[in-house]
Chain A
């Protein structure tokens, strides 16, 4: 949005905006503030009754404990981190590529079956992973993908939610843009890759955030059984499961696992704002 457009807002308008932001912001930030404070609480404060929101005597001992436990684990901890990073990166990249290719043609091309397929995707959005866990396991078993990365990565490619979001955003891309590219002699794939994808960058960044969130927190205990292929959230949840004395470590773990999706979002969201100004949707 260009400067000068919204400059007319009055002082009271500004006060209203900031007041609303402060009010809602406090709501939204409460769990994070709680989690951060938790991570730094010494053990005696953690079990204080009634509980307090803010830490009185912050300590790093929770993190020291966490790293001590990590270094003692049977499989080096970097292996768990690698597993999760690999699954997240591969799954997200593949999902964005495949889902946006599909979404592009459903949105902009007419061919038999495309509408029906989209309706089918919307319907399947409603299926809970719990309900599908058993049949899905059997499919994986048939494919001999049990206990491999593939069992987690490949289904992530076909997540219907990303397809749905991308298709809706691509509907807003003007057809004239694509036609113009076609007249200039662009091939099908280069229209998709060099015209449509940059235009809907905010959409796939949103999908990216969503997918990273999903995969980063995947415990994947249904499909992966060998210890050296297990994911970080699984390893961390094992650490927390150790009993009451691990309560402080639990706070540290929560903070640790929250931080990556948060960073991904913060870096993506500045981009979401930037792209629209230069996108070409402008008439």
Chain B
């Protein structure tokens, strides 16, 4: 570019002093840190406003409900709250017949399935990051569960007479949980290809299937992380004589470690919010009974326990995360 005479002439001239109004002059005179802070607040303020109004206010409101007896006044679109201390919590933990059981079951299932989801999604992301024919098709296939599970299906399924019919067929025939693999199982049984061993296999597969269906987003996150690793790193390590195994542990793993943390938090949250989570079902059923104080107390109790789990596990992992500068 320096050969271009035009640029040289421009570079030789003194820079024209721009006219500034009062405010921008004041801004210009600030030191670097203050400028940074002002720019920071300007950038983030739209998000903060939206966040405060649509997330934080409702959350505070629901926190107030926890300690209150809530009565609805549907005609005027409002409700009345009477403070009643911890009695909602007493009810939830001591009187409610199933809350404790559901809570421990769900927490246990979460502790088992989140590591499985992480390992599985990492493995799949590694595989589909390789070069092979039809790669984009395969990637789309692996994204299917995200689409299928994200409300689109769940919302429709409950209304869909057909799937409802199918479920009741399947449930009549064996009293297992109702997942879509049961339909497959039903097909196999009716085909006469069903013995003790196959039954066991199906049950194991049922679990894997559940894990696979919930790890779509995690695969995408890992995949986009793998894409950010510069190929020249692998080239350099190869020239230095590293094997593929070594470069996996010395390059891929540290570079992706921050996303392991992301996925851990994401998986726990995703698990927490899934509509087939029995604690959440319980909460929703209490909401349907218009018992907002009680349902808020349940949701908050569950939430506090989960936030402790997130805090501990994120604390452990974030110490090992490697940030590339």
Smallest CB separation, B227 vs chain A (Å): 4
The winner among B54, B265, B307 for most chain A CB atoms within 10 A is B54
Smallest Cβ-Cβ distance to B321: which chain A residue = A171
Q: How large is the interface on B (under 10, 10 to 19, 20 to 34, 35 or more residues)?
A: 35 or more
Q: How large is the interface on A (under 10, 10 to 19, 20 to 34, 35 or more residues)?
A: 35 or more
The winner among A135, A163, A243, A258 for most chain B CB atoms within 10 A is A135
Flag whether B36 is at the interface (Cβ < 8 A).
yes
Provide the residues of chain B in CB contact with A127, threshold 8 Å: 55, 59, 62, 299, 303
Once bound together, how far apart are the Cα atoms of A78 and B183, in whole Å?
35
Once bound together, how far apart are the Cα atoms of A37 and B122, in whole Å?
31
B50 touching A155 by the CB < 8 A rule?
yes
Contact partner, A128, options B65, B128, B169, B283, Cβ 8 Å: B283
Smallest CB separation, B122 vs chain A (Å): 13
B161 touching A276 by the CB < 8 A rule?
no
Smallest CB separation, A192 vs chain B (Å): 7
Once bound together, how far apart are the Cα atoms of A164 and B43, in whole Å?
16
Once bound together, how far apart are the Cα atoms of A47 and B77, in whole Å?
44
Known: A6-B130, A17-B132, A139-B57. A102 touches B232 (CB 8 A): no
A106 touching B140 by the CB < 8 A rule?
no
B43 touching A206 by the CB < 8 A rule?
no
Q: Mark B185-228 against chain A: 1 for CB-CB distance below 8 A, else 0.
A: 01101100000000000000000110011001100110111011
Flag whether B39 is at the interface (Cβ < 8 A).
yes
Provide the residues of chain B in CB contact with A188, threshold 8 Å: 39, 43
Smallest Cβ-Cβ distance to A257: which chain B residue = B152
B230 touching A154 by the CB < 8 A rule?
no
Once bound together, how far apart are the Cα atoms of A219 and B158, in whole Å?
13
A-B contact pairs, 29 of them (CB 8 A): A1-B234, A5-B235, A17-B130, A25-B138, A28-B144, A105-B39, A109-B43, A111-B40, A122-B265, A124-B51, A127-B59, A127-B62, A129-B273, A133-B287, A135-B57, A138-B78, A155-B54, A157-B46, A165-B221, A172-B323, A188-B43, A203-B224, A244-B161, A248-B162, A250-B156, A250-B159, A254-B160, A262-B147, A269-B139
Which 7 residue pairs of A and B lie closest in terms of their CB atoms, listed nearest first? A158-B50, A102-B47, A135-B61, A135-B58, A50-B190, A111-B37, A217-B151
